[in-house]
Structure 1
Amino acid sequence: MKTTTYIALFALALGLTTTSCKDAKSETETKAETAAVEKVVPETLKWSERMMLSEIERFPKASLLDFRDKPKWSYTNGLVLDAAARVYEQTKNEKIYQYIYDYADEMIDSTGTILTYKLSNQNLDMIKSGDVLLYLYPKTKEQRFLTAMETLNSQMESQPTTSEGGYWHKKIYPYQMWLDGLYMAEPFHLRYAKTYIEDEAKKKHIYDDVVLQFDLIQKHSQDKETGLLYHGWDESKEQRWANKDTGNSQHFWSRGMGWYGMAMVDVLDDLPSDHPGRARIIKYLNEYAEAIAKVQDESGLWWQVLDQGAREGNYLEATGTAMFTYTFAKGANKGYLPAKYLTIAEKAYDVLIDKLVTVEKNGVINLNKCCGVAGLGGDPYRDGSYEYYIGEIIRSNDPKGTGPFIMASLELNK
């Protein structure tokens, strides 16, 4: 009996030892496999540089940002490359500068013509990549970049307007102002005027015109009860998405308000300190921040449809959250907003990292839960309903999220 027991115990011990060895071997092999994967994005870098290098890994050509199969001059390129320029200025990583330059080099020909761009479309979205040229021209002095900037500025001079002077979002969207448009066009318009227009009267006129856009959006798009702003406003009130009394669209879209917040903190970089509109924009920014803070989810993130909370289908969305984080952080850092908004930004940022950022074995980082796109009107027609906003594609690494994430990371020095 004892012999049988000893044999059984020996077998059990041998089995446990073998299992333990297998586990140890498995763990060793796993570590070896992980170590064997080349880290194309070092984990020792700050989040801003890690995300920028991840974007370069995903889209080796900046002209293909936004999952394109053909090069295009568009706002998403300008957004990410604006962020890239800020990372380069901090890190002096030449790979990042080359990425910026290669976009302009590819998209601007020797005569200064912008490839794929049509001035006749009068599309405010196309102005955003002008920020790339504003950055590169002082460094390179390439005449073609200046010529292209002059073309974009000429669009602003000929852009059709509402009866009060508000820029149409696009020629195909007559009498409509969208929150998006203020970010797409006004930082470029203002900086170009400040830097390249010598006629003081003309320069002041552009300053006034830039401020007017914010005045009109506040006048027509802000909901007086909540302080939030509707995505679009149609002066003609003819669009199916427009309220027949106010001309406003139906909902408060996260990224729409994100564009608007970033527009305010960025134009304040260049609007002269003595311009009377400066105090108004800071006032608008404070009203905005108060309204946005009230609809922040307890998690620290923001919802796709801001004021609808946990309504069925709604979700905590990355691009708007990144934009609000950047707006609050920069606004507080610059002294436009009270310090409490820096705390709000830090909380949102930490939750973004914890809940919506994932890291691949090769070090590439992903920003998840991004709304791919949302607009109003068009063909097929976008009706601005709740169902529309929650029904658009959700994807990872949308540049409308990665760009603001990089800028928020820089503002928070994470």
Structure 2
Amino acid sequence: MINKKLNLFKTLTLLLTFAVLGCKTTAQKTVTTTDSKNPISSNLKWSERMALTLMKKHDKSYMIDDSKAPNWDYVHGLVLHSFEELYAKTKDAKYNNYVTDYVNTLVKEDGSIDSYKFNNYNIDMIVAGRLLFNIYDTTKDKKYLLAMQLLRKQIEEQPRTPSGGFWHKKIYPNQMWLDGLYMGEPFYAQYTQVFENGKSFDDIAKQFELINNNDKDPKTGLLYHAWDESKKMPWANKETGKSPNFWSRSLGWYAMALVDVLDYMPKDHPKQKELVEYLNDLAVALVKVQDKSGLWYQVPDMGTRDGNYLEASGSAMFAYTFAKGANKGYLPSKYKAIAAKTFDAMTSKLVKVEADGSVIITQACAVAGLGGNPYRDGSYEYYVNERKKDNDPKATGPFILAALELNK
């Protein structure tokens, strides 16, 4: 009897051991499979799905836009600002760490910034400075303050047109591009609010005034890609200095610049209402040329012309601007619904989801400009024939920002 009980005990023990080992093996196997493929859950908000896609492709944040080496650049400033906003929403440290890794890779102990060339007076290089405010506020490490002061010094010395507008770059004399309003003014506005008691708000407003007064088309209410105050560039209209065509992304840069600058300009400042008026005028003009799908064309007023296409980056920028403008009360509430329609059109028409859950935005213009070598004439044919790039950062950053404003 005792032997039978002993044998039964041994058998049960052996079976239990196999069961435990089997469970452990299965669990380990599941974890390994999950870690190796790292699928991005479709249950997450679009903002996180896009951010995780970028982190999956680019182990280090400086690799955004397929950069091979660390580079202080506006695309990193744009995308990582969206990560800052995502961190503020989710409190998930990995998004904040992705931002700080970029900053700490580029900013040195003396406040100098690797790859940044002060004497180029390239206003594109200012926007990444927005990433410095939070990290300085958190750490109080002087190197971040010194880096901000360096960028502020560039603004102070930036060459200006006769009317007082910032040149886009040293190599583009007397030219203001819509892009430049986003590149320079949000950093400038935040800096003057935080460190200068708002002393430069009039100068910031002046940049928008100059563009609004000199670059707007009175018929459509849209603004041209750029304005040459000297009227000397071959692309510039000899009477007005305006470039030949509208470009969705340049209008998107301008729109985002307005809603972001308004974060810092006090409501009782004499110029605040003026900027809100510019934003409302632009919103009205943009809706008039919006495609029935909810998206915008690369050249927004020529949707039916051969070669034109529904473009992702400009559409994402408008979705963000409209949603934030409505959320903040700068725009009527109806623009939130317009933004939602645009975002939904992006996810249904311009977004592909890979087997691993990665989110891919298609139909994004990779780059467009004016002048330079080879020469860019600003013609319709020029804009519609520039190359496209999937998940171009000028689309992914605004996509995350729009998703956050819409809680998508």
- Identify whether the pair has TM-score above 0.5, normalized to the shorter chain: yes
Matched, 1:222 2:216: yes
Per-residue deviation at 1:343? 1.2
Distance in 2 of aligned mates of 1:71 and 1:36:
27
Distance in 2 of aligned mates of 1:264 and 1:249:
21
Corresponding residue number in structure 2 for 1:323 = 317
Corresponding residue number in structure 2 for 1:335 = 329
Distance in 1 of aligned mates of 2:228 and 2:367:
20
Cα deviation digits, residues 318-366 of structure 1 (max 9, x gap): 0000000001111111111111111111111111011111111111111
Cα deviation digits, residues 108-141 of structure 1 (max 9, x gap): 1121110000111111000000011012110121
Corresponding residue number in structure 2 for 1:362 = 356
SS of corresponding position for 1:177? strand
Query: Which runs of no fewer than 5 residues in structure 2 stay unpaired?
Result: 1-32
Distance in 1 of aligned mates of 2:175 and 2:64:
27
Per-residue deviation at 1:37? 7.7
Indicate conservation of the 8 Å contact 1:123/1:169, yes or no. yes
Distance in 1 of aligned mates of 2:378 and 2:293:
26
Corresponding residue number in structure 2 for 1:213 = 207
Indicate conservation of the 8 Å contact 1:54/1:364, yes or no. yes
Distance in 1 of aligned mates of 2:230 and 2:40:
50
Distance in 1 of aligned mates of 2:109 and 2:41:
37
Distance in 2 of aligned mates of 1:216 and 1:135:
31
Distance in 2 of aligned mates of 1:96 and 1:276:
37
Corresponding residue number in structure 2 for 1:293 = 287
Corresponding residue number in structure 1 for 2:30 = none
SS of corresponding position for 1:65? helix
Distance in 2 of aligned mates of 1:79 and 1:350:
22
Distance in 1 of aligned mates of 2:378 and 2:66:
24
Distance in 1 of aligned mates of 2:243 and 2:250:
12
Amino acid at match of 1:349: F
Indicate conservation of the 8 Å contact 1:119/1:155, yes or no. yes
Corresponding residue number in structure 1 for 2:406 = 412
My pick for the range that moved more, 100-109 or 37-46, is 37-46
Amino acid at match of 2:179: D
Change (3 A) 1:38 1:64: closer
Distance in 2 of aligned mates of 1:220 and 1:85:
34
Q: 2:231 aligns with which of 231, 237, 241?
A: 237
Corresponding residue number in structure 1 for 2:12 = none
Residue correspondence of structure 1 range 122-137 to structure 2 within 5 A: 122-137=121-136
Corresponding residue number in structure 2 for 1:20 = none
Corresponding residue number in structure 1 for 2:395 = 401
TM-score scaled to structure 2, two decimals?
0.90
Amino acid at match of 2:400: I
Corresponding residue number in structure 1 for 2:149 = 150
Cα deviation digits, residues 266-291 of structure 1 (max 9, x gap): 00000011111100011111100000
My pick for the range that moved more, 348-357 or 51-60, is 51-60
Matched, 1:372 2:371: no
Change (3 A) 1:36 1:309: same
TM-score scaled to structure 1, two decimals?
0.89
Distance in 2 of aligned mates of 1:218 and 1:127:
22
Per-residue deviation at 1:45? 1.2
Corresponding residue number in structure 2 for 1:121 = 120
Corresponding residue number in structure 2 for 1:86 = 85
Indicate conservation of the 8 Å contact 1:369/1:394, yes or no. yes
Corresponding residue number in structure 2 for 1:196 = 195
SS of corresponding position for 2:401? helix
Computed over aligned residues only, the root mean square deviation of the Cα atoms, in angstroms, reads: 1.3
Query: Among the aligned pairs, what percent are the same residue?
Result: 53
Q: 1:250 aligns with which of 244, 253, 257?
A: 244
Per-residue deviation at 1:231? 0.3
Residue correspondence of structure 1 range 8-87 to structure 2 within 5 A: 38-87=37-86
Matched, 1:351 2:327: no
Amino acid at match of 2:374: P
Distance in 2 of aligned mates of 1:153 and 1:35:
46
Change (3 A) 1:95 1:40: farther
Distance in 2 of aligned mates of 1:278 and 1:344:
24
Cα deviation digits, residues 142-198 of structure 1 (max 9, x gap): 11111000000000101111111110001110000000001011010010111112x
Corresponding residue number in structure 2 for 1:7 = none
SS of corresponding position for 1:63? helix
Corresponding residue number in structure 2 for 1:99 = 98
SS of corresponding position for 2:65? coil
SS of corresponding position for 2:66? coil
SS of corresponding position for 1:394? coil
Corresponding residue number in structure 1 for 2:261 = 267
Amino acid at match of 1:64: M
Distance in 2 of aligned mates of 1:128 and 1:85:
14
SS of corresponding position for 1:233? strand
